[in-house]
Structure formats: structure tokens, C-alpha cells
Chains A and B, each alone.
Chain A
């Protein structure tokens, strides 16, 4: 690719940084070029975030309907799955699965909830009483 053809599209990099790519100059030598972004890359990233948003909406619904505990909502919000969350809080996956059940969640002690709250970087109160809209 010639350096003048390097995509300079608007992307999430805006006002933060530009990425470095290699392209050819007039003489055919590779040179470094800074790019503001590429629409194709942006489209792929946008799809991923659309999916995450949908997943989060579903999670809210499940928590509101008492099918899942609030931990489930925060897990999805933090782009985690059960395995990853388990490694952050230091419990086995099956225990985390149990904590995702509203009835189990309601009986959890503050010390257990605190582990989740600090993983999600929220307060204990937010985890217990957050009003998921």
C-alpha cells in the first residue's frame, strides 16, 4: 500500500492516539505512517459492542425478573464470564454460579459480597441496592 492510501478514518482513537502502520513511499521503500483509524476495523469493533449492549439489556431483564442476581448484571457489564469472575474473586466456578441465583445472593454475607463489589469497583451498597433500569 502507498502511504497516501493508508486509511485515515475517524475511529475510537480520536483525540487519544494514532496507530503506526507501514506503507510504501514514492521510491517503493517501506516507511512508517500514522493512521487515525480504518472503517473496516471500526465496523468489526462496533459489532462487538452492539452484541455486548444487547447482552447487557438481557442481563438487566433477567435481574429485574429475579431470574439472576445483581452479580450477573455486573459480570456482564465488566465483560466477564463465570470463569474469569471466579478467578478474580477467588472462588470456584460452581460457587460463582450459585451466587448468580437471586435466592442465594440474598443470603450472602457482606464479606463475600465485598469481594464482588471490589472486583467490579463498586460499593457494597451499590451491589446490594442498585436499581437496574
Chain B
């Protein structure tokens, strides 16, 4: 059984970084520290990239940047994979979980079944950690913005990992 410990944070990428680092024994580290050394604060206004008629505004740097900068600063090697095949993505994930290695994933929130319906838009820069598998079909999820750990079935996890759009 996995010994993964869930940590809740205000921001998802800080949280995935925190969760993955803490679970390999990096201490002391906190969300504000990660946000700082990861240079998380940022501002961009993209008037031509519209979501529901409203221009895109972000207060955070681009997806993956906080994670990368934090790990660079701590001299920790990050292995990042992108998949075009859902089958290969799942096979790789299953393999890592069998080795008891938690995996951070960038996902879309539209099909994220444990989120409140009102929060589910086509937004694909959310991050979560998959830390185990229950039986054949259910993945154990540590979503850092959630109070508690959740689960996603295989099909839903595939949908959120392979969400379309930007």
C-alpha cells in the first residue's frame, strides 16, 4: 500500500510540487517557499485568447514553470513526459505506480468529476498527483486544491489527461 501523504495548497502547481517533493523526503518546504523560489508570481493579459467571451488573464507563470524552477534551484532532476497516445500514457503511469512512484499530471478540469459542477470549464492547466491504483480501474488522486484525496476511474482520468483546447 502506498504511504503517500496528501497536502492541500492554495494553488495546484505549487501543490503538486510540494506533494512530490515532500513525499521523497525534501524538508522543510512549504507552498510559499515553492511559490517564491519557483518565481510563481506573474501577470499576463491575452485579449485574443478568449474563454467564454472573456479575455484570458493569468496571475501565474506558464504551466510547469514553478515546478521546473523549484526543482532546478534544489538541483533535483525532473522527468517530464508528453504522450500522444492515451494507451502509452496509461501504461507508463501504471508502471510508475507499480514502482510506487507518485506521478504529477497536467489535466483539464471539464471532466474532473470530483470538482463542483460550477467550476468545471475547459481549462487545461490544472495539476494533480496520481499516487496509486485501487483494483483495476480506480486511480487514487491527490489534488492539491482539494481538502482530501479523491479517485478517478480509468476512463475519466484518460479524458482529463487528453483534454483538447489550450
Contact = CB atoms under 8 A, between A and B. Distances in A.
A79 B116 contact: no
A12 B164 CA distance: 25
Contacts of A104: none
Contact of A87 (B116, B119, B146, B165): B165
A17 B148 contact: yes
Contact of B10 (A19, A79, A88): A19
Contact of B147 (A18, A51, A83): A18
B165 A79 contact: no
Nearest to B52: A48
Nearest to B53: A51
A48 B118 CA distance: 9
Given A20-B8, A52-B52, A12 B116 contact: yes
Interface in B31-61: 32, 52-53
Contact of A49 (B32, B118, B122, B165): B118
A30 B32 contact: yes
A124 interface: no
Interface string A7-46: 0000011001111111000000010101000000000010
Tell me whether chain A's interface is mostly helix, strand or loop, or mixed: mixed
Size bin of chain B's contact surface? 20 to 34
A84 interface: yes
B116 A13 contact: yes
A79 B147 contact: no
A30 to B, nearest CB: 7
Nearest to B54: A48
Contacts of A122: none
Nearest to B7: A20
B4 interface: no
B92 interface: no
Interface string B69-111: 0000000000000000000000000000000000000000010
Nearest to B165: A84
A79 B122 contact: yes
Contact of A17 (B32, B52, B121, B147): B147
> Which 3 residue pairs are nearest across A and B when measured between Cβ atoms?
A12-B118, A12-B116, A87-B164
